[in-house]
Amino acid sequence: MGRYFGTDGIRGRTGQWPMTPEFALRLGYAVGEILGENGQTQGPVLVGKDTRVSGYMFESALEAGLSAAGLDVALLGPMPTPAVAYLTRTFRATAGVVISASHNPFDDNGFKFFTPEGDKLPDAVEEAIEARLDQPAQAIDGRRLGKAVRISDAAGRYVEFCKSAIPARSELRGLRIVLDCAHGATYNVAPHVFEELGAEVDLIGSAPDGYNINEGTGALHPDVVAERVVATGADLGIALDGDGDRVILVDADGQVVDGDRILGILALERQRQGRLGGGVVGTQMTNLGLEQALSRAGIAFVRARVGDRYVLEELRRHGWMLGGEGSGHIVCLDHTTTGDGTVAGLLVAHLMHRTGRSLADLAAAIPQLPQVLVNVRLESGVQERLEAAPVRAAVAEVESGLGDRGRVLLRPSGTEPLIRVMVEAEDAGETRAAAERIAEAIRAVA
């Protein structure tokens, strides 16, 4: 990661550097300079945002910087992250930008960028942009300044794109769905997708006010959807996050179905239809139950680093189509280039409608092993603790005891001085004891 760019763009607390209007202005100008120098300009730069109140401020500042560098800008308004990726491709745009902090509270915000192909920016381009960010924004000759327009039909274009993920003439008529949009960017698109396909939709989190995005609702709080599903007798609950790139589902009994199980459901169905297109990519945190279920079905599985951009890298490297994370990022490369919560939810809803099977029945094929995560906070010496002989010995002892019935993962946090200890095993008590055994070994290192 660079000074500003992390694994998912730039993110921080609004009003604190770098999430200030001045930085957004510099960022727009730097992006415009770099893309102009590299000869990557063709159409406008598309700018979308989620529903945070600070989005207005950052949209204006970013637009000014891009225009000052000579790039035209097309403003999309509130739009899910996967919609911006899709529209960047279809508009033949120079780049796409999403002003969003995803699942974070409203007082955070951030910037995500897409190439003309709808992919995340290459590391080299991010590094070049960062190298310019310490310089104040200038402005080119007035005759070469960029112009800005608003795209009025962006939402409708994305709704039709989502609907195209299932076969023509398919529908969801008779399916009762509770849909939670987290008061975020999907509020004006996801309901139309499911309603236009004939589903009976009960909406939650569809009244953004600039401050309530992700607040007690959405993919981070699937219990809200679960309660409504049980109370109303719905067939399915769909909980999206603030920028619409992740989804968590709930079955008719109120049981949560996370991204790992959604990924497994889609993989097994694609295999049955003969269109899986290779194997499946998960991450270091993917539940071992999914890996075991795919293995029984003869489906290849590999783990990437945590983060949807790394899932995408592995998919491209293997030439596969399907990957995702337990948090609900589901990437279907035959549909889109990034996690798309609305599309993933639609694919499962269509499978339920077409086969008459319940979500609980579909999810039963993907068991979840007990998983315990212990965060060991340290003052310093994170890497030294990871490499210490007593810690390695504790890990080896646990792994030997678990055999192929479980696994151990130690990884340093990318943002805090702590080590995350994750253990999975078939028995919950054994899992907890194993995680605590390793955590104690880390704490005991002098």
Q: What distance in Å separates the CA atoms of residue 311 and residue 279, rounded to the nearest whole number?
A: 12
Let me know if residue 1 belongs to a domain: no
Strand-by-strand arrangement of the 108-114 sheet: 10-13, 108-114, 95-99, 45-49, 73-78, 148-150
Check whether residue 416 and residue 431 sit in a common domain.
yes
Angle between helices 81-90 and 341-355 (to 10 degrees): 100
State the pLDDT at residue 163. Answer: 98
State the pLDDT at residue 41. Answer: 75
Let me know if residue 334 belongs to a domain: yes
Let me know if residue 306 belongs to a domain: yes
Q: Which of 30-44, 158-172, 394-408 has the lowest mean pLDDT?
A: 30-44
Local confidence band at 135 (pLDDT 50, 70, 90 cut-offs): confident
The domain boundary residue, chosen from 152, 170, 205: 152
107-120: average pLDDT: 95
Number of separate domains in the chain: 4
22-39: average pLDDT: 91
Check whether residue 103 and residue 36 sit in a common domain.
yes
Check whether residue 27 and residue 84 sit in a common domain.
yes
With residues binned 3-state (H G I as helix, E B as strand, rest as coil), the percentages for the chain, rounded to 5, are 40, 20, 40
Report, as residue numbers or ranges, the catalytic residues.
102
Q: What is the DSSP letter of 107?
A: T
Local confidence band at 404 (pLDDT 50, 70, 90 cut-offs): confident
Local confidence band at 417 (pLDDT 50, 70, 90 cut-offs): confident
Residues contacting residue 269 through CB under 8 Å, at least 6 positions apart: 351
Nearest to 248 by CA among 263, 231, 232: 263
pLDDT reading at 220 higher than 60 = yes
Check whether residue 124 and residue 186 sit in a common domain.
no
State the pLDDT at residue 181. Answer: 98
pLDDT reading at 199 higher than 70 = yes
Check whether residue 310 and residue 356 sit in a common domain.
yes
Nearest to 228 by CA among 254, 207, 210: 254
State the pLDDT at residue 412. Answer: 87
Let me know if residue 78 belongs to a domain: yes
pLDDT reading at 63 higher than 90 = yes
Q: What is the DSSP letter of 294?
A: H
State the pLDDT at residue 37. Answer: 80
Check whether residue 261 and residue 239 sit in a common domain.
no
Let me know if residue 242 belongs to a domain: yes
CATH at 397 = 3.30.310.50
State the pLDDT at residue 413. Answer: 78
pLDDT reading at 281 higher than 70 = yes
Give the tokens for residue 175: 């399916």
Check whether residue 269 and residue 318 sit in a common domain.
yes
| Tokens 């955590």 sit on residue | 439
Q: What distance in Å separates the CA atoms of residue 326 and residue 329, rounded to the nearest whole number?
A: 7
Check whether residue 200 and residue 223 sit in a common domain.
yes
217-239: average pLDDT: 98
The domain boundary residue, chosen from 98, 117, 152: 152
Check whether residue 246 and residue 174 sit in a common domain.
yes
The domain boundary residue, chosen from 233, 253, 273: 253
Q: Which residues pair with 97 in a beta bridge?
A: 47, 113
What percent of the chain stands above pLDDT 90?
Answer: 89
pLDDT reading at 1 higher than 90 = no
Across 293-443, where does the E strand assignment appear?
301-304, 322-324, 330-332, 371-377, 406-412, 418-425
Q: Are 375 and 420 in contact (CB under 8 A)?
A: yes
Local confidence band at 39 (pLDDT 50, 70, 90 cut-offs): low
Let me know if residue 3 belongs to a domain: no
State the pLDDT at residue 146. Answer: 96
Give the tokens for residue 164: 């195209």
Task: Read off the pLDDT of residues 311-369 as tens digits, 9 standing for 90 and up.
Answer: 999 999 999 999 999 999 999 999 999 999 999 999 999 999 999 999 999 999 999 99
Check whether residue 74 and residue 148 sit in a common domain.
yes
11-33: average pLDDT: 96
State the pLDDT at residue 414. Answer: 65
State the pLDDT at residue 7. Answer: 77
State the pLDDT at residue 446. Answer: 64
Let me know if residue 110 belongs to a domain: yes
Q: Which domain holds residue 166?
A: 157-253
Give the tokens for residue 385: 């603790």
Check whether residue 64 and residue 102 sit in a common domain.
yes
CATH at 346 = 3.40.120.10
Let me know if residue 210 belongs to a domain: yes
Task: Read off the pLDDT of residues 250-280 as tens digits, 9 standing for 90 and up.
Answer: 999 999 999 999 999 999 999 999 999 999 9
Check whether residue 342 and residue 217 sit in a common domain.
no
State the pLDDT at residue 382. Answer: 87
402-426: average pLDDT: 87
